[in-house]
Structure 1
């Protein structure tokens, strides 16, 4: 009955006519799967999610698909996901203002964090959010003073996840105690049993390689040389083997070479003498604990659970060699303890452009008196044919980098003076004042509309208005409230974006914070450097942070100069 009155009331037409025009949303599709896409019939898959979302977006005249982001093998219990972070960066840059997911659980299973995005972050950034299978759209969803109703489903998702995590952890621990294998993939050299996936059986394709690795090492061949021999022979590394056999489908595993860490891991693993060793890492979602390494004394070891590939005599000989090399290494470290050591300022920042691996910092000592450090590409040691020898002295690289940063600090100082002058111009100040006034007016309008909306029901109960007046005014104030909220979100986003044209620009604030610093520090490098590439010809490519903010600043200055 109330709906009939709303349809015939002439005031409703006035509300509808003032509704904002349809807009073309710059839409991103977000896909997530917590385990590797196995392609099993009936199971949720990455490709299935992609097809659903692209079909949904293409069917909407007010949406334009601009990007598709996919986190494969990533948990939904937190938002520390590479592709999700990349998507949010696109949102902050204004390239995306609508996000579509299959359902709320694909977006996230943590109720508090998911709710924070839906209730606060997305509205603040002016982002529309749609969960297709949940029929949830923030543009049309019912919202109470406590927030959206549908996200309550996410609380169930989180409770469900924690309950499953607790039960799974208990069941898996029992299996570990019995010596049953519970890993996703069998150790290299083994396969899961055809009739019992918790039992390891020898893999006839890869076991000979394991035996050869142990034989070479027992003969005194270095780990580096073993890696080179395997790569030269074209033998697939464990990761590459999993990819080639279809056990994993992630592209990053394709073509991975043998390197020292893989070989060391194989040589130290008791699984190859028939013992099951598990529980070396621990993670508990239901207790809110992240993955951590477990002390060796607390590992779960069950002896003689499967057929060994290596005899115990060979295994022990290899362990003795490893312990001897470790002792020699620590002895060499102590030998030059009297020399002054320096902090690795650029740790994780220097990369090889060819193999896309970080360079390793090596210590060099001359005649026991002079010490210096060199960055070297580890890819060359693994396979000289695939990666050229890259080497550069640390002091040389630090000097080049510090000079480049000093130059940018001076540019930041100069640009700040220009920005201050432009921001002080009457026309700019008038524009900012007008924007601030519009925002304040919109906030007052919202407060008034909400107050009137909240008082309607009491007035109706007290018979201060008719049912028709109640329905009509309720529709009007609701529309006014929504319109004011949309305007406020847009103005706040504009206000936030306008900071890039002021002294609050991140390029200016971050680089100027190091003005007066007379040497390169780890804090400076971490704050200002994205990555440094050094090639075989010793060409240095420095990628500094805040380049988008810097370019936006230049564009703004050029635009103001043209006025």
Structure 2
């Protein structure tokens, strides 16, 4: 955005840069609107008899970084030798970052012999006092950098001890309430609960990551170990009660931790059997195990009949028989491959329509953002125009609603595509099975089969949700 005013040339043809910034919520910054800042800066120029000046207006940009179009233009023109001084109404209009402020003062302004003036703070680097202040600021900035880690660690410890969130990015399923310094469950909280429940039912972290469109099984593993979800906070080795609302019941959380230990032990050494961990007794509900017999034959039988592990016994009088492992595996694999061949991949019928709607919303967003930039320019010239201000507010509100809709569409389409991709992957299992290694076959079985129940010579296969929807 540019709004340039040219007056009489000075002797060296260099101009004064009047920098103006308003945040994204500029209408709430009383006294610092574009119009108010422009008026103060032009009065300063009139008082100082400065005729050659240029306005650099960044409307709707945060001061937390220097990624602003007019700030970039100002820096570029300073480096080209076109600017002799920069004036702002208040120091935080230049930047809210101490690091960026020091960078501008030392590496941009001072390095190019450009003076800097902030009216509110009476800060002027063209004077000996102002130059000394830049040096003092640099010393304090260095001191701050050296001590920030220590202060941060102390601050985090104290916050956590009182049950408040540390102020960093909140865990998945929570938002951060900056006013109360606590975590608040958001729309993803139900997903977190579902992940704990499904893991307890036997789903792997890999399957859950794909099901809920997460960043791999590591994210799921991290979630399952977070005490934050039961209302606790952890810092280093210390765990304290948090002020936030729990998402997961403690009983479920503890059960999941025990399961994770069991599964970790189970996967620490690779099983030599295809269905390990998936087979259960259909009569008493106990787990079933593989056992080698003499002559190399391998059988499957109920843990209730294995008195060496009493904690796994459900019914010591279980009448389930011993079955040949090769026969059970053949039944299971044949059924899975048959289902794979017959499986119909149902594409999202509304996918094209959703895509058109998504494109239309993005086009509308671009139009609104263009209008907003134009209105900022108009408002800079006419700060008393209440109609302009009202229109800007309405567009901001529409943009906010539009961004929410775009986010929802993106999430829905991503999940739909993931389900379709998983379905297509299952469809290809029948064709690729004979080319898979044992580990790949074992992983495939766990991906699509939830549980196998054996009742004497009857095998019941429970597939994961993806395969039970049709």
Same fold (TM over 0.5): no
> Normalising by structure 2, what TM-score?
0.38
Give the TM-score of the pair, scaled to structure 1.
0.33
